[in-house]
Structures are given as structure tokens and as C-alpha cells.
Structure 1
Amino acid sequence: MSSEQRKIRVAVVFGGRSSEHEISCVTAGSVLSVIDRDRYEVVPVGVTRTGNWVLTSGDPERLRLDSAGGSLPSVPEDGADLALPFDRAGELIVVDPGKGPERLAGVDVVLPLLHGPFGEDGTIQGLFEMMGVRYAGAGVFSSAASMDKVFMKAMLRGNGIPTSDYVPITDRQWRNERKKVLDDIAELGDTVFVKPARAGSSVGISKVNDSSDTDAVVAAVEAAREHDPKVLVEARVVGREIECGVLEAEDGGVPEVSLPAEIHVAEGFEFYDFEAKYLSTSSLTIPARIPEEATARLRAMAADVFEAMGCEGLARVDFFYTDSGDILVNELNTMPGFTPASAFPQMWNASGVDYAELVERMISTALRRSPGLR
């Protein structure tokens, strides 16, 4: 087969060093199960919990989520080590102690199916740009700003897009200005949510029912700091949780927005935390049962968020819809959960784009983009 006829080589990168390692593996398993092997040659690249890059199994069965048993997949440490050379764009080197280094043929595009820090936050995107290889999803700055909920809120508010009230806490402020921070948190209202500023999948989030209870707030902040030294404390918003999926338009025009979904948290959970999200009977209603004009506003706002944050490829925008009809942005995910059971694919399926087509859109959008700076 000549080079002109060869399959497009896609590196599927998953796992990673963040607390969302397992969810990344589940996402990768789902993508690997539908990717068109007649068109694409797949190179499955795992990033272990310790940060090692390994050539690993691309068997989707090894990456499935067992919600009944509560078991989650991970990248094993025993794969063949990979090195990333910068002298030839897109190449990988397999490091086998018994045989010495061996170059793999160049990769045409990367699907970085990583969630959380060191994957969704601009770090790996910068690596791919330095390597001169195309990759799916948002660029360096957009990924970093969207991952950091403090900067996300500041940028959205600067673009006239409403969010809930919040107090950011840096490591320095927590160590040196704790009383002022606690006083500011008490001003947010009785109930607050405390989150790592740069984590996802609801990892490390606590609900505090009395913001004047200093001990409870401190405990919640310390729990969030186990995942990130930077913390966000948000005022509670009484409203329904609604999400929308966004895709970069194939013609380069206005972003496409899915039908919205409403989250129904399973009984026994106070909020949509990790277990409620992945290991419970929490469900979605698609389309969300809200007035037509509210649906139109919400979808338009999702496109505005995508544009304001400089997103590319895909994103999921999470909202609160209040009884008074107000819409507030809650979060933005530049690499949303991508299993068939995840909200993003479900919303697009209800909007006429099935799972396999979503994967194809993600790859084809990335291939149209020039490598290097966006």
C-alpha cells in the first residue's frame, strides 16, 4: 500500500495523572469500539497514573465501566514505554529494553481523551503543538482557561454571560489570609459548594449547608485542596441542572448546539457528585422539559460560551435554570465524558448525530486544522 493509500493514523491517548484517570479510560474504550478501522489505523497510547506513556491494549472490553460491581478500568504500568521525539512531527518511539528504541510511523492526528489536569488543561495540548501534530479539541489557552473555573467565570462575565457568585481561593490566600477568605465565603449565602478549581467529574466537591460554620468550611476547602491547591467556593443556585453539547460547525460557521438535557440526581444524593454521576441511577431527560423560549436562549448561550472561551471541536456547557427563568452558566468541559451513557453523546443522539458520527466529527475537525498555533 502506498503512502497515498495508507490509512490515517490516529493516536488515542487516555488515562493520565489526574483523579479522572478511570473515566478517561472508559471514554477511550467507548471511542475505540466504534472508530472506523477501515479508514483509520489506531495507536492506543495509555498514560499511567504515574505519568508514564505506554503502548497499551486497544481492546474496548478492557476499558469498560462495571457500574454494578463498582470497578473502574485503568492503564497498566506494564506496557511498552513510549518516548516523544520533537525532531519529526507526530512520531513516537517504542522503548524496549530488550531491543532498543524503535520508531513508530508518524501519527496524523491525536484524540486526547483525557479529563482533568495534565490532559484537559492545556498542558498536553501544548505538547502536541510543540510536536507539530494535529489534535482534537480546544487549543492551549482555551483548554487552560476553561479548565480553571475561576478564569472561566471571569472570562464569561467579561463577555456578559452570567454565572453564579463565587469566591476564589489561591494557595497563598488560604495560608496567609484565611480569616478574610472565610468572611468572604460567609457573604455568599447560607449554602455553598466548595470545589477544586481545576478538576472535573465532580471530584473533590463538598456541599456546606452553613457557610458561617468555620469548621465545616475549612474541612471542605481542605478536601478540595487534596486535588488542587486552588479552590472555588460558589453560592448555591436553586434551579434545575441543564446541559448542552456544542460542536464546531463543519463549514466553520456558528457552532452547532444539541438539544438540552436535564439531570435528575438519583435518590439519596445531595448533589451530582462522582458516585451520583457514574455509579448510580441518576438519569437525563432529553430534551429538557423547559419552555421553548428558554430552550432557545439556553442553546444560544451555549454557542456564546463556546465562542467566548475560544473552544474548538467540541464542548459541553452546564447551566442552572431557575424558577424565575434565569439561566446561569455552571461549568464548561472542553473534553466531556464520551461514553455512550454520557450526557454529551446522548444529547447529540437525540439531536440526530449518533455516537460513531460524533467520533468521526471529532477526527475530521482536527484533521482540517493546521498543526502549530491555532
Structure 2
Amino acid sequence: MIKKKIGIIFGGKSAEHEVSLQSAKNIVDAIDKEKYDVALIGIDKEGKWHISDQTSYLLNEENPKLIQLNKTNQGIAVIPGENQRQLKSAAQSSDLDQIDVVFPIVHGTLGEDGSMQGMLRLANLPFVGANVLGSAVCMDKDIAKRLLRESGISVAKSMTFTRKSIGKMDFNKVKSNLGLPLFIKPANQGSSVGVSKVENEEDFHQGIKDAFQFDHKIIIEESIIGREIECAVLGNEEPIASLPGEIKPKKGFYSYESKYIDETGAELAIPAELSSELTEKVKQTAVEVFQSLECEGLARVDFFLKEDGELVVNEVNTLPGFTKISMYPKLWEISGVPYHELINRLIELAVERHKRDMQLKNVMWDE
């Protein structure tokens, strides 16, 4: 059997850099070595790309707080074109080994906001995950909310502000509209980066300051009282949903540290203790959300389940974490898809979509 070469791109100039390193390690460890060879491309915090060696691509790999990319200074050049040999060694201007599929596991800014996906499309490389539109839409919480409301799917009440409208951000007006407590978030971030819980006016102003460090647009959102339910979705045109899981934070809300660093920061109930009717409702709604936001490949849909049974969408993550404590692979494992098979199916979905896209005409007439 001829092995496919899988290019795993990880790291990135993102607040979620360390999470990506952990995700990459888990994917490399779990991928089926009999079916795939791996090429590792690490991106450092300054945005430089490195050709990495599988035996030494990480430093402090067992410590989530200290994990680092081992920089090689063997850079990458991307050459858009018709064939799939667009990745070259920048130093030697020589082709890298043929890469058949890219698994971009760069979380957050420049990784799951459509930027990486656009570059890979220009390079004509099949890649795992949502395409440009789905990636960009889901990364922008403001736009995602608008589309979900248009689709009749419940989302939390919120207000959106940019730096230009900062003068309109009056605490008493926001409190009157959304109540307390409330949450302030950068519009384009994931993994709870830059998110603040607001109980008073002092928290409000500090939360605004913190959120604007990560984006030019912020969301101020009402607090929803309910259980935190997550559901994993897999597929392209006919997606399927996993059994739901539940997050039970032990330290306030489900923070970045609780998700990726502190294994005791939250209790994960997998699967969630739900009735069969509610389980099906979560799965069906997750698929509807996935399709409404033009997702493909994979996504994790996060809900609040209110006491009256209403499901409110919190956010959608198109490149969810693959760390040891990440929900996405755990949900599929309890649903009958083990980690190595999940990776295999994601790669197959990438190839399937690329073949479909290659059938489209790019000109109005034949030459």
C-alpha cells in the first residue's frame, strides 16, 4: 500500500499557540503509521515557518505550561500552482516530499479564521476542516450570531462594539439591556482567550480593555444560566453528530486554563446525562448549526441547555483542540470512533472535498 504524506501545520502566531503544539503532538502520536507518513511544519510565535523533525519538534512536550516549538530555521516557501508541489525549502529552493493532505491544527487567529485555508486553496492542497467561508464565519462571533438568528437558532442576547463605537459603551446602558453578570469577549478569538466575566462597573472597563487587546471588535453578552453542553460534528455534505458531553467548571466559567492546562479545572461528563429526547435534540441542532454556518470536515458546537429545555448556541469551533483533555476527540471516542480512526476519517473528508472542488469549472468556455 502506498502511504499518503500528511503535512501537519501547527503552532502559529496566536494566543492559542501552546494549545496547537499539544494538539499536534497527540495527532502525531495517534495517526496510523501504516497508512500515513508525516511531515511536520511548525509556525513560531513570530509567524515564521519551520520544517520540523519528528524526533525533536517540541521542547518540554509533557508540560502544557512550558511546551515550546523547537525552531529549526529551515523555512518554507509556498508556490501556488497547478500541481501539489508548492511547498519548498526556503533555504535550498528544493521541493519537499510530496504532501497529499494538510492537517492544519493552528488554533485561533491566522489558523482557523480562513487565512490558512485561503493559502492552502491557492496552493491547491487538500486540507482538513472547514473551507474559507465557514472558518471565517465561525471565528467571528458577531457574524455567526447573525446567521444563526436568521436560521431560527437561539443564541445569547448580545451587543457588538468596535473601537470607533467605544464612546457608546456605557456600563448602565449595557447592564440595563443585558443584565448582570455578563461576559465580554473578543469577536475573533477562541478557547476563552480574552474573555471576562463582569459583575460590576470596574470589571466592565477592565474586560473591555482586555478584549480589545485581542481584536478590533468585541461582543458583550448576557449570562445564560444553564448546563454547558458540547457536541462534535463530523462530515461534509452529510454530517453526523456525536453523543453530547457536559462541561462542569470548578472555577467559575470554562476558562482557557481549564480547557487546556489544568486537568482538574473542570469535570467532563462524557456522555452527558440527558434523556434520549434531549440527546437527539442536541445532535440534530448541532448538525443544523454546522450546516447553517457552512462548516465542513469537523466542528465542535457548544450550547447552554436552559432549565426549560431550550438550547442556546454559545459558539462553534472549526478546529477544536486535540489535546489530552479536549472534548472533540473524547466525544467521538465515546460515540464509537477511536482517536486514530477519527484522524483517518478527517483526512478522507479532506480528500473527498478536494476531489469535489476539482470538478468545478474555472472558465466559462473551453479553450
TM-score above 0.5:
yes
Verify the 8 A CA contact 2:260 2:323 in the aligned structure 1: no
* Aligned CA distance change for structure 1 residues 185 and 77 (closer, same or farther; 3 Å): farther
Q: Distance in 2 between matches of 1:323 and 1:29?
A: 39
Percentage of pairs with the same residue: 36
Which segment drifts farther, 275-284 or 118-127?
A: 275-284
Give the unaligned 5+ runs of structure 2.
Answer: 361-367
Verify the 8 A CA contact 2:59 2:70 in the aligned structure 1: no
Counterpart for residue 317 of structure 1: 301
Counterpart for residue 25 of structure 2: 29
Counterpart for residue 245 of structure 2: 261
Counterpart for residue 233 of structure 1: 220
Q: Distance in 1 between matches of 2:57 and 2:80?
A: 33
Q: CA deviation at 1:277?
A: 1.8
The reply to whether residue 347 of structure 1 matches residue 339 of structure 2 is: no
Q: CA deviation at 1:63?
A: 6.8
Give the residue type in structure 2 aligned to 1:288: A
Counterpart for residue 205 of structure 1: 195
Secondary structure of the corresponding residue to residue 335 of structure 1: coil
Which of the residues 101, 110, 113 maps onto 2:93? 101
**Deviations 1:70-128 (Å, cap 9, x if unpaired)?**
524232333311111113434211123xxx32221332111011110100000110001
Which segment drifts farther, 331-340 or 145-154?
A: 331-340
Secondary structure of the corresponding residue to residue 363 of structure 1: helix
* Aligned CA distance change for structure 1 residues 361 and 170 (closer, same or farther; 3 Å): same
Give the unaligned 5+ runs of structure 1.
Answer: none
Verify the 8 A CA contact 2:57 2:69 in the aligned structure 1: no
Which segment drifts farther, 76-85 or 295-304?
A: 76-85
Which of the residues 303, 321, 346 maps onto 1:362? 346
Give the residue type in structure 2 aligned to 1:15: G
Q: CA deviation at 1:183?
A: 2.1
Please show how residues 1-374 of structure 1 align to structure 2 within 5 Å. Answer: 6-59=2-55, 62=58, 66=62, 71-87=65-81, 88-96=83-91, 100-174=92-166, 176-179=167-170, 183-210=173-200, 213=201, 215-248=202-235, 252-253=237-238, 255-266=239-250, 269-280=251-262, 281=264, 282-370=266-354
Q: CA deviation at 1:292?
A: 2.1
Verify the 8 A CA contact 2:57 2:70 in the aligned structure 1: no
Q: CA deviation at 1:158?
A: 0.6
Verify the 8 A CA contact 2:297 2:346 in the aligned structure 1: yes
**Deviations 1:31-79 (Å, cap 9, x if unpaired)?**
0011122222211001111111110132488377645xx5242323333
Q: Distance in 2 between matches of 1:233 and 1:76?
A: 38
Give the residue type in structure 1 aligned to 2:136: A
Verify the 8 A CA contact 1:90 1:108 in the aligned structure 2: no
Secondary structure of the corresponding residue to residue 216 of structure 1: helix
Q: CA deviation at 1:185?
A: 5.0
- After superposing on structure 2, the runs of 4+ consecutive aligned residues of structure 1 that deviate more than 6 Å are none
* Aligned CA distance change for structure 1 residues 158 and 90 (closer, same or farther; 3 Å): farther
CA RMSD of aligned residues (A): 2.0
Which segment drifts farther, 225-234 or 23-32?
A: 225-234
Give the residue type in structure 1 aligned to 2:102: V
May I ask how many residue pairs the two structures share in their alignment?
355
Verify the 8 A CA contact 1:29 1:58 in the aligned structure 2: no
Q: Distance in 1 between matches of 2:273 and 2:32?
A: 35
Give the residue type in structure 2 aligned to 1:351: S
Verify the 8 A CA contact 1:90 1:132 in the aligned structure 2: no
Which segment drifts farther, 291-300 or 114-123?
A: 291-300
Verify the 8 A CA contact 2:85 2:95 in the aligned structure 1: no
Secondary structure of the corresponding residue to residue 289 of structure 2: helix
Give the residue type in structure 2 aligned to 1:365: L
Verify the 8 A CA contact 1:29 1:60 in the aligned structure 2: no
Q: Distance in 2 between matches of 1:29 and 1:299?
A: 29
Q: Distance in 1 between matches of 2:79 and 2:26?
A: 29
Secondary structure of the corresponding residue to residue 164 of structure 2: helix
Q: CA deviation at 1:19?
A: 0.2
Secondary structure of the corresponding residue to residue 69 of structure 2: coil
Counterpart for residue 365 of structure 2: none
Q: Distance in 2 between matches of 1:61 and 1:345?
A: 23
The alignment's TM-score, normalised by the length of structure 2, stands at 0.91
Give the residue type in structure 2 aligned to 1:369: R
Q: Distance in 2 between matches of 1:107 and 1:237?
A: 45
**Deviations 1:113-144 (Å, cap 9, x if unpaired)?**
11101000001100011111111100001100
Q: Distance in 1 between matches of 2:6 and 2:287?
A: 28
